[in-house]
Amino acid sequence: MRKRNITFLVFSIYLFTTSCEEDVMIGGSGQDQLVVYCLLNQRDSMNYVRIEKTYSGYSNAYEAGKIMDSICPDPRDVNVCIIRHSKASRNSDTIFPVLLEDVEKLPGMFNRKGMLIYGFEDILSASDEYELLIEDLAKQKTLRSMTGLLGQYTWLFAKQEFRRKNISMYKPELIPDFKGSLSWSQNWSRVLFRFYYLEELDGESRLKYVNWQPSAGSFKQAPMEEDSMQFADLYLEMLAENIPVNPEVRRIPVGRDYLLNIYDEQVERFGLIGQVPEDYLYSDEMSNIENGFGLFASSYYFNFFAQKINPRTMDSLVNGQITKNLGFVYP
């Protein structure tokens, strides 16, 4: 019996040593690639560029994903810029997004720790085309992609927009380059409310906004045809959570828009409506980034209604228990 055990032990050692002579690589050659995600939206005051990289491939993918360095590029190895090409003047200028340190409150796909998130506040316009350039210094190559913009109006349009006395007078804009459905009844998951207000500080006035995506049930119950409506306590509580208290500022309510988030044909073609499945960003077929993976395209907020603030809601914002510390004042 002892002789058999020794023979088995020797045989096991032989199998172990011979089977480990070659490394088994899961996920390809181990040449990581940059993965980019950016949807430009001229109705957002801030736009973002998200950059990560594919797994190295030298270990189990699930284990590699737990190692932050395996998916996060070194910011010293990445340079990001967006070149704006004017269709009218044929001139170009360059936007330099800034690397953001705090991504706790960024929306959706950009609220991701361990990835490079860049942001910029430049006003975008549908009359221009945009070229994304990312220098991958580690690989000594440049990632490139081009996109136009959906829609007509920038987010500052709400400041000049006339809030209708009768909602039936409001005519939504035409978007001839959009082929999808603009019906809110067919797109509950992409409808949001945007509350605008003017913030006055040190003699300057800036337009700001807060987005809220309601549940389908609460949206269906909203009286869409009214030109103004009383804000519910739930909505006021949302404003109180998202607008910081600052005794130095005066805030003037402007109105609330009913918006539908729509996407250009590139996003539609990739099937990325609503949110972007991670696997699509790593596929050649689902990428429009030269020398890398990912998506550079356009989204837009189509405006169904532009509501004004009625007197009762104005009183609630200025004097109500929920928002009285936010500095809202009467116009």
- Are residues 159 and 209 in contact, defined by beta-carbon separation less than 8 angstroms? no
- Round to whole Å and give the CA distance between 289 and 295: 6
Banded pLDDT at 187 (limits 50, 70, 90): confident
Q: Which domain holds residue 157?
A: 34-326
pLDDT digits (tens, 9 = 90+) for 48-88: 999 988 754 444 445 545 555 557 888 999 999 999 999 88
Residue 3 counted as domain residue: no
Question: Dihedral sign, CA of 151, 48, 270, 304?
Answer: negative
Whats the size of the chain, residue-wise?
331
Residue 24 counted as domain residue: no
- Round to whole Å and give the CA distance between 151 and 1: 82
Q: Which amino acid is at 232?
A: A
Report the pLDDT averaged over residues 116-137: 93
**Closest to 33 in 3D by CA, of 266, 290, 269:** 290
Query: Would you give the DSSP letter of residue 269?
Result: H
Count the neighbouring beta carbons within 10 Å of the beta carbon of residue 167. 18
The rounded radius of gyration (Å) of the Cα atoms in the chain is 26
- Are residues 247 and 224 in contact, defined by beta-carbon separation less than 8 angstroms? no
pLDDT digits (tens, 9 = 90+) for 18-29: 444 433 333 344
Residue 305 counted as domain residue: yes
Strands 78-86 and 128-136: antiparallel
Percent of the chain with pLDDT strictly greater than 70: 68
Residues in CB range of 68: below 8 A, 6 or more apart: 114
pTM for the full model? 0.77
Helices (H) and strands (E) in the chain, counts: 7, 12
Instruction: Find how far residue 9's CA is from the centre of its chain.
Output: 58
pLDDT digits (tens, 9 = 90+) for 136-152: 998 999 999 999 999 88
Supply the mean pLDDT for the chain: 77
Output the pLDDT for position 17: 42
Output the pLDDT for position 300: 92
What is the tally of structural domains in the chain? 1
Question: Dihedral sign, CA of 64, 271, 292, 104?
Answer: negative
Sheet holding 34-40, edge to edge: 98-99, 116-120, 47-53, 34-40, 293-307, 250-263, 191-201, 204-212
Output the pLDDT for position 115: 82
Residue 27 counted as domain residue: no
Output the pLDDT for position 110: 65
Residue 8 counted as domain residue: no
Residue with more model confidence, 27 or 292: 292
Does residue 6 surpass a pLDDT of 60?
Answer: no
Tokens of 69: 């360095």
Residue 213 counted as domain residue: yes
∠ Cα 245 248 252 (to 5°): 75
Task: Specify the 3-state DSSP secondary structure of 96.
Answer: coil
- Point out the least confidently predicted range of 8-12, 157-161, 257-261: 8-12
Residue 16 counted as domain residue: no
